[in-house]
Structure 1
Amino acid sequence: MPLHIPTPLIVSAPLSRTAGRPVWLKLEALQPPGSFKIRGIGLACEHYAQLGAKRFVSSSGGNAGLAVAYAGRLLGVPVTVVVPATTSERAKDLLQHEDAEVIVHGASWQEANALAQSLLGDTDAFLHPFDNPLLWRGHATLVDEVAATGRKPGAVLLAVGGGGLLAGVAEGLERNGWGDVPLLAVETEGAASLHQSMHTGQRVELEAITSIATSLGARQVCERAFELGQSGRVRSLLVSDKEAVAACTRFLDDHRLLVEPACGAALAVAYGQPEALADFQDIVVIVCGGATASADNLRQWTARFA
C-alpha cells in the first residue's frame, strides 16, 4: 500500500460563488503528514528502501522533511533532516515527534542542503524536497484520483515553490490524456522565481526570499518547472502575502481547514482574482496543506497585515 491516502475532491460553494464558476478542492491538507508531499516523498522512500537504503537524509524543515520523517518511521528506516536556523520550533518538534534526527545548520536552505549532502554515506538515500522525477511521479497520483471521478478540469490552480507539485500535476494530466488542461501557477510576490523565469526566458535565481510563505521559498525552480513555464501550458499569477494570509483565514471559516500561506496563495486567486479564472469552468484547486502552520501563527500573520 502507498504511504499516502486518497483525498476527497469536493465542490466549494463559497469559492464557486466568489469565482462565478464551479471550483473544486483537492484536499491534500488531509494527508497524514499534512501535505501533498507524502505522495512523491513516500514513493521515493519506498523505492530507496527496496534498493537497500539504511537511512534517509533530507534538507527541508518544512513539508518535505515532515514527509520524509513520516515515511521513514512507517518503513522502519532512520531519518536525518538538516534544517536552517530559521526553521520554527513547531516544525522541529513535528520532525522529532516522527523520530527524525534534526540538525540545525546555516541561515538558509542552501546551507542546510550542503551539509545534508556532505553527510551522505554509501547506504544513505537523499530526498530532495522537489527536484526528483520519482517525486513528480508520486505527486501525479492526485490527478489520477481526479480522473477516476470522470470530471475533467477546465484548469488546475496550484501554488509553486520549487516546482515539484507543478511537475507532478503536469505529469498526471499527461498520463490521463489531459495534457491540454491549463495550469494556473501562483506565487507570492516575495518568492516568485517561476514568474521571473517565465518573464526573462531563463531560469532565474532570486537573491533572497522575502515572502511570509516560506514553503514557496525556493530561490530557483527546478529545470522541469522552468520547461513547463516555457511550454505555453502555464499561466503565472502573483498574490501578496497579505492576500495569501487573508485567504487562509477565509478558507478556515468556509471549510474548517487550517492551511499555511503557501497554500493560501492559490486560494487567494480563487477568492480575489475572478478575472484570472474567467476563461475556465470546473477549476480544480490543489489545497496543498501545510503542517507547520498553527492557529496562533495565523492570528499573528493576520494582525501583522491588519
Structure 2
Amino acid sequence: MSANTPCIRSSVLSELNHCNIWLKMESCQSTGSFKQRSIGNACLQYSKQGAKRFISSSGGNAGISVAYMGNELNIPVTIVVPKTTSAKAIQLMREENAEVIVHGNSWGEANDLALTYVSPEAVYIHPFDDPYLWNGIAPIIDEVIAEGIKPDAVILSVGGGSLLSGISQGLKANSLTIPIYAIETEGTASLNASIKISKYVKLEDVTGIATTLAAKQVCENAFKISQNENIVGLTVTDEEALRACFRFLDDHRTLVEPACGATLSTLYDKKISFPSLTNVLVIVCGGASITLKQLLKYAEGNTPHF
C-alpha cells in the first residue's frame, strides 16, 4: 500500500555539486513520508497473521502511517506519542480514527507505555526496528534501477535506522556496493556517536527541532550495518537543516520537515565532494506533519540568519 514515487534529477543541486543528483521523492507517498513503505508493509503482514488491533509509538510520521493503515484495513489503532509531537501530526492520526495518547517527554517514554497495551491480538508496530519495515523500504532501489539510474552513492537521514536498514538491503539485492551517507542533526546523532567509538551506544538525551529523528539509540541492525558496510556518518546543525528546507521549497516546490532538510543540507552546503559523473541518490524522506507556519516558527526561534 505504498506508491512508486518519482525519481527526478535536480538541476539546481546537480549544478551546485557538479554531479547528477537524483531525488527519490518519498514525500509523495499518500501519508507524506517514506514511513508509508515500512509501516505499510508491517501492518499488512501482521493483518494477514490475524492482528485485531495495532499498537504503536511515534514522534509523528510512523504513527500517521499506522493510523492510515488501520483505517485502510479496518483495524483499530492506538498510538502513544511524546509531548514533542506536533499538533498537526496528532490531528492527522486522529483524522484516520486512531486513538492517540500523549505521554512522556521522549519517544522512549511514549514507547514504554505503548508496550503495556500489547496483547496476543493487539500487535505492536515498531516505528523503526522490524524486518518487515526494512522489507518495505528495500524496493526503493529496485524502482530507481528500473528507471535506468545506477547510483554511485546514497544520502539519507537517520532517526531510528529503518531507512538505512531498508536501503542497505535494497542495495545488496541489486549487488551494489556503494557508500551510504547517513545524516543526523547534532542533537539526535545516536548513530554517529556509535560510529565514532565503534560501540552500540544510547544517547542520554536528544535535542533540537528534528523531532522525528529523536531516537536515543538506533536499531541494532543499523549499527551493525555501520560497522560492516561503507557508511559515512555526518551531522548538521538545526540551522543548516532549516535553511535547506526553505531552499528546497523554493527550488522544488516541496515542503519537507527538518529531518529531511538535514540530508538536503549536505548538498546545499556542499559538505560532500563527488566526481563529476557521479549519480547520487537522495532519499527525500518527506514529513507529513510539517507546515510552512511551523518552519517559520522554528526559524524565528532558531537563528537570526533567515
Q: TM over 0.5: same fold?
A: yes
Q: Does residue 183 of the first structure (1) align with residue 183 of the second (2)?
A: no
Aligned to 1:37: 35
Instruction: Work out which of the residue numbers 21, 25, 28 in structure 1 matches 2:26.
Output: 28
Instruction: Work out which of the residue numbers 116, 119, 122 in structure 1 matches 2:120.
Output: 122
Could you say what secondary structure the match of 1:57 adopts? strand
Could you say what secondary structure the match of 1:190 adopts? helix
Deviations 1:49-107 (CA, angstroms, capped at 9, x unpaired): 11110000101141000110111111111111011122221111111011101111122
C-alpha separation in 2, matches of 1:113 and 1:216: 15
* 8 A contact 1:155–1:280 mirrored in 2: no
What does residue range 167-182 of structure 1 map to in structure 2 within 5 Å? 167-178=165-176, 180-182=177-179
C-alpha separation in 1, matches of 2:170 and 2:59: 27
Q: Sort the Cα spacing of 1:280 and 1:211 in 2 relative to 1 into closer, same or farther, 3 A.
A: farther
Instruction: Work out which of the residue numbers 297, 300, 306 in structure 2 matches 1:300.
Output: 297
Instruction: Work out which of the residue numbers 203, 213, 216 in structure 1 matches 2:213.
Output: 216
Could you say what secondary structure the match of 1:286 adopts? strand
* 8 A contact 1:157–1:183 mirrored in 2: yes
What does residue range 41-56 of structure 1 map to in structure 2 within 5 Å? 41-56=39-54
What does residue range 143-162 of structure 1 map to in structure 2 within 5 Å? 143-162=141-160
Aligned to 1:265: 262
What does residue range 220-235 of structure 1 map to in structure 2 within 5 Å? 220-235=217-232
Deviations 1:217-255 (CA, angstroms, capped at 9, x unpaired): 110011111011112410111111100000000000000
Q: Give, as a single letter, the amino acid of the residue that structure 1 aligns with 2:14.
A: S
Aligned to 1:81: 79
Q: TM (normalized to structure 1)?
A: 0.96
Q: Does residue 282 of the first structure (1) align with residue 297 of the second (2)?
A: no
Aligned to 2:233: 236
Aligned to 1:247: 244
Q: Give, as a single letter, the amino acid of the residue that structure 1 aligns with 2:250.
A: D
C-alpha separation in 2, matches of 1:251 and 1:173: 26
Q: Sort the Cα spacing of 1:280 and 1:104 in 2 relative to 1 into closer, same or farther, 3 A.
A: farther
C-alpha separation in 1, matches of 2:276 and 2:125: 38
Q: TM (normalized to structure 2)?
A: 0.96
C-alpha separation in 1, matches of 2:191 and 2:85: 23
Which stretch of the first structure deviates more once superposed, 275-284 or 89-98? 275-284
Q: Give, as a single letter, the amino acid of the residue that structure 2 aligns with 1:13.
A: S
C-alpha separation in 1, matches of 2:75 and 2:272: 48
* 8 A contact 1:61–1:92 mirrored in 2: no
* 8 A contact 2:19–2:276 mirrored in 1: no
Could you say what secondary structure the match of 1:14 adopts? helix
C-alpha separation in 2, matches of 1:272 and 1:241: 13
What does residue range 81-120 of structure 1 map to in structure 2 within 5 Å? 81-120=79-118
Aligned CA RMSD, in angstroms, stands at: 1.2
Q: Give, as a single letter, the amino acid of the residue that structure 2 aligns with 1:10.
A: I
Displacement of 1:302: 2.1
* 8 A contact 1:190–1:211 mirrored in 2: yes
Deviations 1:238-279 (CA, angstroms, capped at 9, x unpaired): 111100000000000000000000000000001112544458
Q: Does residue 140 of the first structure (1) align with residue 138 of the second (2)?
A: yes
C-alpha separation in 2, matches of 1:134 and 1:277: 33
Displacement of 1:280: 7.3
Could you say what secondary structure the match of 1:74 adopts? helix
Structure 1: tracts of 5 or more residues without a match? none
* 8 A contact 1:54–1:77 mirrored in 2: yes
Q: Give, as a single letter, the amino acid of the residue that structure 1 aligns with 2:190.
A: S
C-alpha separation in 2, matches of 1:276 and 1:191: 24
Paired residues in the alignment total: 303
- List structure 1 segments (4+ residues) > 6 angstroms apart after TM superposition: none
Displacement of 1:181: 1.5
